Chains A and B, each alone.
Chain A
């Protein structure tokens, strides 16, 4: 067989070749990218980090078995204090910031770039894969938490608990997706996204979400915590007058409608994705 015999192609010989349809391409890239991402070594450390809520539930189950701590209380506290402010930003950062930026830096994006596929299909394929991983890992931890909680007895499974439990999956889905989309755009924009991403996740998000009035709405954490069913005002009843008043003002969380928070989080995904696609389209593949 010589070169001219290798024409096994269906590529049109004349006319203007069109890019491949984006949807199947996104699915193919997502599938292969996901397989790549789950093989990364950092996923092991992320998996270990996600054992935090599981270990906490296990500790309660073993050491506080006679305390009147309900499964609902445990789940709410874990979501509010561990999953939302820590695990979701970390997951988003670890898989999002590297989703596209790392491929560009390594140079392996060349093998996608030189195909007849739209840049948005490359970006969205990688992003969907990263979001799936970022959602799956904490979700698996949540499943493990559920198993430990219900091992106490069938009376744990109430309608209110199930509602809360399923709602937590929704929070993980929204939170991991929005953080991942944001950090993916970030990673496409700057060459070394880790430091700025950490500053955003644990600087901006920590600070802004605690500022009273509407400023706190500028953080993703606020909207995610807003979706967790929990009293929103800090309990300062034991503190003396002025200090109590100050703290109440300082930590006052003014809830917004759930729908608004959901809309903000979805909008974050959309805006970050559009920005990321734009950035990738103008990216130069130097390696």
Chain B
């Protein structure tokens, strides 16, 4: 799969990286990555050490690419810092200025975005309320739990209503309720036309927020687009298919030894689970087998069209 590809999400690219690379000494952290992101929520996925944090930081203007260009709204954030008015950034690190209170931290964040006193008060009250931090607003950040810090970091990234939002592992340390609220919020932001780039190594987390993904591994973009699109581009991808049939036992017996079939399992009297290592060939051959052998197949279900399956396949290949 090519490192470059069609833009993820919809609309004009707000985030674009053109053949960016970054190395630290002899270590190549990111290698020749090309991506573009329009509006909506996009997950930047990769295992720990895959290079997603480095790519993320280059996109957000925190580090300079060794080669290639990164543009947000067509400009380089590191040069034109005024564009940070339209960008929100939630870092992975949980370090916050421990001596400040939650209210002070949010107020200063907004002050440095150029907001006036009344706007700051209104916005701070709203976001403290939204993240259920009202009771802790006057407590020093040093005494905040990991989940509370995470929520405050999210609040400071969103409080100025940015159009492009970078969230680096935003759900780390959150309790299930906050996690659900934050996921809903991210989806809401995407639906409202913001560009949200979410970095994570936890696949189910990203799956709940979006189906648009950029897969990164060993410093390279492996794939980008929707999970289904990516899945369709991998014809030889191993697939698990469930066939619902009134004659499941007979069907299972027939399938053993057929081309493209790796294993067959009779799950119940009405259901056969087939694992194939060449999905396209299997799907092409199946109608012929059914017609020629008078087999009964009522329903075909693809069981592992999940992000995890795609990710696992791509990173192991």
Contacts and interface: CB of A to CB of B under 8 A. Distances in A.
Contacts of B97: 36, 108, 111
Given A36-B99, A284-B63, A114 B82 contact: no
Interface string B110-131: 0111111001001100100010
A114 B83 CA distance: 9
B95 A106 contact: yes
Contact of B112 (A35, A112, A282): A112
B212 to A, nearest CB: 18
Contact of B115 (A10, A25, A108): A10
A107 B84 contact: no
A115 interface: yes
Interface in A226-272: none
Contacts of B116: 10
B127 to A, nearest CB: 8
A111 to B, nearest CB: 6
Contacts of B194: 3
Contacts of A29: 112
B89 interface: yes
Contacts of B109: 111, 115
Contacts of B192: 2-4
Interface string B73-102: 000000011111111110101011101100
Contacts of B108: 28, 32
A118 B114 CA distance: 13
Interface string B171-209: 000000000000001001101101000000000000000
B112 A28 contact: yes
Contacts of A108: 95-97
Interface in A1-46: 1-4, 6-12, 16-20, 25, 28-29, 32, 35-36, 39
A9 B161 contact: yes
B114 A11 contact: yes
Contact of B62 (A3, A12, A110): A110
Contacts of A17: 82-86
Give the one of B61, B82, B93, B158 with max A CB within 10 A: B82
Give the one of A2, A8, A108 with max B CB within 10 A: A8
Contacts of B93: 107, 110, 287
A67 interface: no
B60 interface: yes
A173 interface: no
B160 interface: yes
Interface string A210-228: 0000000000000000000
A19 B81 contact: yes
Contacts of B99: 35-36, 39
Given A17-B82, A36-B99, A118-B81, A10 B114 contact: yes
B113 A11 contact: yes
B119 A6 contact: no
Contact of B161 (A6, A19, A20, A112): A6
A11 B85 contact: yes
A285 B168 CA distance: 14
Contact of A115 (B57, B91, B113, B123): B113
A4 to B, nearest CB: 5
A117 interface: yes
B156 interface: yes
Given A11-B161, A32-B108, A18 B62 contact: no
Interface in A81-110: 106-108, 110
Nearest to A115: B112
A113 interface: yes
Given A28-B108, A35-B99, A114 B85 contact: no
B64 interface: yes
Nearest to A7: B161
7 contacts: A12-B85, A17-B83, A28-B112, A32-B108, A116-B81, A117-B112, A287-B95
Interface of A: 1-4, 6-12, 16-20, 25, 28-29, 32, 35-36, 39, 106-108, 110-119, 282, 284-287
Given A3-B188, A108-B95, A112-B112, 10 more contacts: A9-B160, A9-B161, A11-B86, A17-B86, A20-B114, A29-B112, A35-B99, A36-B99, A110-B89, A114-B62
Sort A-B residue pairs by CB-CB distance and give the 8 closest, nearest first. Answer: A285-B62, A284-B63, A115-B112, A114-B89, A17-B82, A107-B93, A17-B85, A116-B84
